[in-house]
């Protein structure tokens, strides 16, 4: 029994390593990083560690091709929203001399930034799992992000801690760095959807 668990753990690690390699390979053109991320989320959600490596490669490629256009558009939208978040903080800093106004604007900027972080956690898993349009994915992810904002920020803190660990142990990045983060995000999204009774909106069709 113990040996089976150990074997399953190492199989899981090997699958993560393969997914990480495929993500890096498909992200090399840079602009395809969003489709590679959406495809990664779909493969993880569908099969976790229960799929043979040949099946993983086939599903990843199909998911990548399917998500290429919508995920790229969504990624560009998220970059635009990031610029808006940054602009909010920059605008608030211009009123640093007026304490009360600065406090109000900074509080608003922090709130907007927090919502953006929460949205960022959900957006690609939602797009990959629902396989719907960009606007519908943004709406669903936004509602989930608002509903679970404190939990999402806590999850973001955990992911930040892992990124800091990568800084001190960078060897993990090319091995399982991205796929591990994606696994945690997909797991968090699934649990959030189930706890929030949104399961019906997140059903996916078999490929």
For 89-107, what is each residue's pLDDT tens digit? 999 999 999 999 999 999 9
**Integer CA distances (angstroms), 141 to 14, 49, 189, 201, in order:** 30, 25, 10, 11
Phi, psi of 186 (to 5 degrees): -65, -45
For 27-41, what is each residue's pLDDT tens digit? 999 999 999 999 999
A 10 A CB-CB count for 130 gives 16
Within the chain, residue ranges assigned H as helices are: 2-26, 33-47, 53-93, 99-130, 134-147, 149-168, 178-195
184, pLDDT greater than 50: yes
Cα–Cα distance measured from residue 185 to residue 194, given in angstroms and rounded to the nearest whole number: 14
A 10 A CB-CB count for 29 gives 9
A 10 A CB-CB count for 190 gives 16
131, pLDDT greater than 80: no
């Amino acid at each position: 029994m113990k040996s089976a668990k150990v074997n399953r753990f190492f199989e899981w690690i090997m699958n993560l390593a393969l997914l990480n390699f495929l993500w890096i390979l498909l992200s090399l053109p840079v602009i395809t990083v969003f489709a590679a991320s959406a495809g990664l989320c779909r493969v993880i959600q569908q099969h976790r560690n229960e799929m043979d490596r040949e099946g993983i490669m086939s599903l990843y490629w199909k998911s990548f091709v399917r998500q290429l256009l919508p995920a790229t558009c969504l990624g560009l939208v998220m970059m635009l929203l990031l610029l808006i978040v940054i602009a909010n903080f920059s605008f608030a800093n211009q009123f640093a001399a007026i304490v009360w106004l600065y406090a109000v604007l900074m509080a608003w900027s922090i709130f907007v930034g927090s919502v953006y972080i929460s949205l960022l956690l959900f957006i690609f898993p939602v797009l990959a799992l629902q396989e719907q349009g960009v606007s519908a994915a943004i709406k669903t992810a936004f509602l989930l992000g608002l509903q679970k904002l404190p939990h999402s920020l806590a999850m973001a803190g955990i992911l930040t801690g892992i990124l800091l660990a990568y800084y001190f142990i960078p060897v993990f990045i090319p091995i399982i760095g991205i796929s591990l983060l994606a696994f945690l995000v997909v797991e968090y999204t699934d649990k959030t959807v189930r706890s929030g009774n949104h399961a019906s909106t997140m059903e996916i069709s078999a490929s």
